[in-house]
Chain A
Amino acid sequence: AQTVTQSQPEMSVQEAETVTLSCTYDTSESDYYLFWYKQPPSRQMILVIRQEAYKQQNATENRFSVNFQKAAKSFSLKISDSQLGDAAMYFCAFLTQGGSEKLVFGKGTKLTVNP
């Protein structure tokens, strides 16, 4: 079974600075997808960024980028120029294949942005 581990329950960053959230996963699959979701206090689950395992190039979405290390099974999220609106819970997730496409979530990292 796939597992996703986020080793940092909480992180904080100063506004305008850069922060990196860690995520590791365990799987025997060779083709899969990884995601970072943001959950603000409103409870909405908002997709931040996605990465296909077969792509070596790291995904980037504006101020958000990932460092995908397939061999190490590591998928960290870097937030540059942090803004107050980035404060939220961040969840790393792995998408299983095989017909059901189930998401397996990590336990989350609470990010605080200090003005």
Chain B
Amino acid sequence: NAGVTQTPKFRVLKTGQSMTLLCAQDMNHEYMYWYRQDPGMGLRLIHYSVGEGTTAKGEVPDGYNVSRLKKQNFLLGLESAAPSQTSVYFCASSPLGRVDGQPQHFGDGTRLSIL
């Protein structure tokens, strides 16, 4: 019963490098989300997807791209990493329709450091 799995859990990058964070969910959820968490800022929505093949911008989308080619996967890309993108990244998913319990299921986060 994996839920939401994020890969990798930790990563250190140099400024200008690129990388992709992978989020996979096995609950057949329609919605998926990427957040970043910075000290004193709570979680802020980067991008989200309401279904396979769709993506939309959240509160802080600049510098990131996303893709949802398969329903179970949601990828977050950094094309040219900057120190300001040092953060903890969370992926979440939720089912379509009325909220019956947990609104979103979260992964365990990815700690990303940009030097």
Genuine A/B complex: yes
Where the two chains meet, the residues of A that have a C-beta atom closer than 8 Å to any C-beta of B are: 9, 33, 35, 42-45, 47, 50, 91, 93, 95, 99-108
Q: List 6 A-B contacts (CB under 8 A).
A: A42-B108, A43-B109, A44-B108, A95-B99, A102-B45, A108-B42
A101 to B44, CA, bound (A): 14
A91 touches B43 (CB 8 A): yes
B99 touches A44 (CB 8 A): no
Query: Distance (Å) between the CB of B18 and the closest chain A CB?
Result: 24
A101 touches B94 (CB 8 A): yes
Given known pairs A100-B31, A102-B48, A102-B58, the reply for A50 and B42 (CB within 8 Å) is: no
Instruction: Please give, as numbers and ranges, the residues of chain A lying within 8 Å of B103 by CB-CB distance.
Output: 33, 35, 47, 50, 93, 95, 101, 103
Instruction: Please give, as numbers and ranges, the residues of chain B lying within 8 Å of A104 by CB-CB distance.
Output: 45
A102 to B99, CA, bound (A): 12
Say whether chain A's binding surface is mostly helix, strand, loop, or mixed: loop
Instruction: Please give, as numbers and ranges, the residues of chain A lying within 8 Å of B88 by CB-CB distance.
Output: 43
Count A-B pairs with CB separation below 8 Å. 54
Interface string of B96-111 (1 = CB under 8 A from A): 0001011110101100
Say whether chain B's binding surface is mostly helix, strand, loop, or mixed: strand
Where the two chains meet, the residues of B that have a C-beta atom closer than 8 Å to any C-beta of A are: 31, 33, 40-45, 48, 50, 56, 58, 88, 90, 92, 94, 99, 101-104, 106, 108-109
Query: Distance (Å) between the CB of B5 and the closest chain A CB?
Result: 13
Query: Distance (Å) between the CB of B29 and the closest chain A CB?
Result: 11
A93 to B92, CA, bound (A): 14
B48 touches A100 (CB 8 A): yes
Most chain A beta-carbon contacts within 10 A, residue among B43, B58, B92? B43
